[in-house]
């Protein structure tokens, strides 16, 4: 992976940021009450949607200040998955959002553009052969980077975004072999998507179910979901800034995800 | 009746005055009977004399054991008059107003409000109805009730017929909300049916207008109030989040919080957002805002431990409804108490179970009857009767 304008020092980096030679792209969906959350069968515990309750707004409850209480799940909106989120990752050291080393929160990214395939097939499955074809064009996926699946799913909203049918959600995601390839043969940092989860909507029918969760977290890797603006990123060369909230023992958290891109 | 005329937007919306509300503690027996749709007067335990007006000792034998009992409501209208001038601000706006004296077959003579059409000498059936102050009032009705009785101006003050009114039904995702919407449409109402999380698939109800409404989301509630708050006459809060589970077996609060959001915080948000506008329109034209309906589990009265957390959320909702009843007046707060519904969450519960459509019909009937409490279905009626009999015994029975 090569950067068009490599920075050799922090001072150069800062200068590039100030001058606009590096642009900052927000990959975050707005946290709002009507943004879809993962839908599980109702007999299971559910992820709370985002909620905002006003404390005061320059009124009798607080004359000069406006503020809110908010509530949500750790996996609401654009959010980060820590390894402890999945049973396969429950025994790793430093597997919660508060103990993951901070240097894991800034990392390069590659973007696999499958937006054309996804437009034609909502159940598009990212396979090893798709990844190998990408590598043939862009070079090997480097160790320690985020792999972001671009589907343009974030351009959808509401029912089209959740895409729930009678047999569940129909959204794109990787198959088990693709995830194992990324983790075991490419040693990536994590996997990110534009959809509600890192796995496909129908991934409970895969073996193992939810392979992105199972294998990524099973190797102590991370997840990002509900990303947006992936269409503004280059295939290689972007740097992702994604520190989750430092929740004690947390399995994940909503977060602001930023991409640094050479312009 | 012709659909109501559209209001003249240049005229002030009249404030909702209330008829005189002062009652002695004893006289509230009539209010209690009216609230439940019954008819009761005090009966002397010693000489069996039926008493009216309510009093502390028997008017016949001076015995002080006067219990409220159901008594035959029939009688003869022996005098009728039309009031054209009155100093009371509420009645002043509503003259001419007919009243009369009924000689009850059970004994006492009673002064009662009269609808059009009953005349001196007629046989009548007395009814106890809640007036716009929420207090019990005597009404004399013809024995053969005309079909348009609920259109009578006096009866409109006592009842909440959905016909030609605009109704918000809060939860169109639940079979109860959907069937209430259908029943309201069949009763001649215009219906807005709230649906939360419209990103999940849902089935619209034909004839009802679907709106986004999630009572657990303050912003959603405020948007609904902004769009519809000023043009609603009836709100039916059907928010039911019914999940089995005792307190200890659940082991956490996640489901309990959702139950409290659905039963207590959500309706409170809606009341805060829409209640003031509803109350302000309680005398707006011929079809003013009139009612707020809650669907509540009868286990709000006494906890069913196998559904312990759910029952507790319903107790909170019941208490909220009592506070709202005072705050929203003259809007009538109606509680429909239910036992197990014939739905997915009561799959393992043996019949009798309440069909959502039967509940919906009962709600429409409660509005037309003008009551503020109705137990719908065998289980709810049984539990309510046992609750009135002895709450402690009921508690022990449910916990056994």
The secondary structure of B239-286 as a DSSP string is --------HHHH-SSHHHHHHHIIIIIHHHHHHHHHHHHHHHTTTSSS
Q: What are the chain A neighbours of B198 within 8 Å (beta carbons)?
A: 34, 158-159
pLDDT of residue B251: 87
Dist CA B208 CA B197 (whole Å): 18
Instruction: Compute the C-alpha angle B228/B337/B130, nearest 5°.
Output: 70
Place of tokens 């709100």: B235
Q: What are the chain A neighbours of B201 within 8 Å (beta carbons)?
A: 159, 164-166
Dist CA B310 CA A124 (whole Å): 41
With an 8 Å Cβ cutoff, is A92 touching chain B? no
Hey, CA dihedral for A61, B275, B204, B375, is it positive or negative? positive
Are residues B197 and A45, on separate chains, in Cβ contact within 8 Å?
A: no
The secondary structure element, H or E, covering residue A56 is strand A51-59
The secondary structure element, H or E, covering residue B90 is helix B89-92
DSSP summary character for residue B354: B
Residues whose CB is less than 8 angstroms from the CB of residue B133 and which lie 6 or more positions away in sequence, other chains included: B18, B19, B20, B21, B329, B330
Q: What is the DSSP string of B95-129?
A: -SEEEEEEEETTS-EEEEE--TT--TT-EEEEEEE
Burial status of residue B71 (CB atoms within 10 A of its CB: 0-12, 13-18, 19 or more): buried
Residue A79 bears catalytic tag: no
End-to-end CA distance of chain B: 53
A10-35+73-262 placed in CATH 3.40.50.620: no
pLDDT in tens, chain A (263 residues): 455 555 579 999 999 999 999 999 999 999 999 999 999 998 898 999 999 999 999 999 999 999 999 999 999 999 999 999 999 999 999 999 999 999 999 999 999 999 999 999 999 999 999 999 999 999 999 999 999 999 999 999 999 999 999 999 999 999 999 999 999 999 999 999 999 999 999 999 999 999 999 999 999 999 999 999 999 999 999 999 999 999 999 999 999 999 999 98
The answer to whether the beta carbons of residues B139 and B126 sit under 8 Å apart is yes
Are residues B218 and A164, on separate chains, in Cβ contact within 8 Å?
A: no
Dist CA B256 CA B149 (whole Å): 45
DSSP summary character for residue A33: T
Are residues B199 and A161, on separate chains, in Cβ contact within 8 Å?
A: yes
Quote the ipTM score. Answer: 0.87
Burial status of residue B118 (CB atoms within 10 A of its CB: 0-12, 13-18, 19 or more): buried
Hey, CA dihedral for A188, A193, A198, A204, is it positive or negative? negative
CATH 3.40.50.720 domain residues, chain B: 166-398
Dist CA B268 CA B287 (whole Å): 25
Dist CA B294 CA B324 (whole Å): 11
Dist CA A95 CA A112 (whole Å): 26
Dist CA A129 CA A85 (whole Å): 28
With an 8 Å Cβ cutoff, is A101 touching chain B? no
Dist CA B109 CA B103 (whole Å): 4
Place of tokens 């207590």: B264
Catalytic residue, chosen from A85, A122, A213, A217, is: A85
Mark which residues 108-137 of A lie under 8 Å from B by CB.
Answer: none
Residue spans per domain, chain A: 10-35+73-262
Dist CA B137 CA A155 (whole Å): 61
pLDDT of residue A1: 47
Q: What is the tens place of the pLDDT at every residue in B313-335?
A: 999 999 999 999 999 999 999 99
Dihedral angle over CA of B204, B210, B215, B221, nearest 10:
170
Closest chain B C-alpha to A122 CA, distance in angstroms: 16
Tokens of B256: 């309990």
Q: Which residue in B199, B200, B219 is closest to A52 by CB distance?
A: B219
Are residues B200 and A39, on separate chains, in Cβ contact within 8 Å?
A: yes
Dist CA B397 CA B400 (whole Å): 5
Dist CA B345 CA B375 (whole Å): 20
With an 8 Å Cβ cutoff, is A103 touching chain B? no
Instruction: Name the stretches of chain B with pLDDT < 70.
Output: 1-2
pLDDT of residue B239: 83
With an 8 Å Cβ cutoff, is B255 touching chain A? yes
Test mutation, A29, A30, A32, A33, chain B, max B CBs within 10 A: A33
Closest residue in B to A169 (Cα) is B200
Class for domain B166-398, per CATH?
Answer: alpha beta
């Amino acid at each position: 992976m090569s950067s068009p304008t490599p920075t050799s020092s922090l001072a150069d980096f800062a200068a590039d940021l100030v001058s606009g030679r590096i642009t900052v792209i927000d990959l975050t969906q707005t946290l709002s009450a009507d943004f879809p959350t993962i839908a599980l069968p109702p007999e299971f515990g559910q992820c709370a949607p985002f909620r905002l309750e006003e404390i005061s707004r320059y009124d009798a409850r607080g004359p000069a200040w406006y503020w809110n209480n908010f509530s949500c799940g750790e996996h609401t909106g654009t959010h980060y998955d820590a390894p402890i989120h999945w049973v396969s990752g429950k025994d790793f050291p430093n597997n919660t959002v508060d103990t993951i080393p901070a240097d894991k929160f800034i990392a390069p990214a590659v973007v696999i553009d499958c937006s054309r395939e996804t437009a034609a097939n909502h159940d598009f499955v990212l396979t090893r052969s798709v990844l190998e074809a990408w590598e043939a064009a862009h070079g090997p996926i480097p160790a320690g980077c985020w792999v972001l699946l671009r589907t343009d799913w974030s351009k959808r909203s509401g029912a089209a975004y959740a895409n729930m049918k009678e047999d569940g959600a129909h959204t794109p995601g990787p198959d088990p072999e693709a995830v194992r390839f990324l983790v075991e043969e490419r040693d990536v940092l994590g996997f990110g998507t534009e959809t509600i989860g890192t796995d496909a909507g129908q991934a409970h029918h895969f073996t193992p179910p939810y392979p992105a969760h199972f294998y990524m977290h099973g190797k102590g890797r991370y997840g990002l979901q509900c990303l947006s603006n992936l269409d503004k990123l280059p295939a290689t060369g972007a740097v992702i800034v994604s520190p989750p909230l430092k929740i004690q023992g947390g399995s994940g958290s909503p977060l602001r995800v930023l991409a640094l891109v050479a312009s | 009746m012709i659909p109501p005329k559209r209001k003249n937007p240049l005229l002030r919306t009249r404030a909702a005055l209330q008829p005189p509300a002062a009652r002695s503690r004893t006289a509230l027996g009539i209010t209690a009977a009216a609230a439940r749709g019954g008819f009761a007067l005090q009966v002397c335990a010693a000489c069996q004399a039926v008493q009216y007006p309510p009093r502390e000792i028997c008017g016949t034998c001076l015995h002080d054991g006067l219990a409220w009992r159901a008594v035959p409501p029939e009688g003869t209208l022996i005098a009728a008059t039309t009031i054209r001038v009155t100093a009371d601000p509420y009645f002043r706006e509503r003259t001419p107003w007919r009243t009369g004296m009924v000689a009850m077959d059970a004994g006492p003579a009673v002064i009662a409000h009269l609808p059009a059409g009953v005349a001196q000498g007629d046989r009548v059936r007395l009814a106890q109805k809640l007036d716009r102050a929420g207090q019990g009032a005597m009404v004399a009705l013809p024995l053969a009730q005309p079909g348009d009785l609920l259109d009578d101006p006096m009866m409109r003050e006592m009842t909440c017929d959905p016909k030609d009114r605009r109704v918000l039904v809060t939860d169109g995702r639940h079979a109860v909300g959907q069937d209430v919407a259908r029943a309201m449409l069949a009763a001649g109402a215009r219906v807005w049916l709230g649906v939360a999380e419209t990103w999940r698939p849902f089935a619209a109800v034909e004839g009802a207008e679907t709106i986004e409404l999630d009572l657990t989301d303050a912003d959603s509630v405020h948007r609904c109030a902004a769009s519809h708050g000023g043009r609603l006459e009836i709100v039916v809060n059907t928010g039911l989040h019914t999940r089995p589970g005792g307190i200890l077996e659940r082991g956490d609060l996640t489901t309990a919080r959702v139950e409290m959001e659905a039963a207590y915080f959500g309706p409170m948000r809606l009341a805060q957002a829409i209640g003031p506008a509803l109350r302000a329109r309680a005398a707006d034209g011929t079809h003013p805002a009139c009612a707020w309906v809650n669907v509540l589990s009868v286990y709000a009265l006494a906890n069913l431990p196998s559904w312990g957390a759910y029952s507790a959320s319903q107790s909170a909702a019941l208490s909220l409804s009592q506070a709202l009843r005072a705050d929203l007046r003259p809007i009538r707060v109606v509680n429909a108490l239910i036992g197990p519904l014939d739905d997915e969450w009561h799959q393992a519960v043996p019949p009798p179970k309440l069909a959502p459509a039967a509940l919906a019909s009962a709600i429409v009937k409660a509005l037309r009857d003008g009551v503020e409490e109705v137990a719908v279905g065998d289980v709810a009626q049984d539990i309510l009767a046992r609750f009135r009999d002895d709450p402690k015994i009921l508690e022990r029975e449910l916990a056994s």
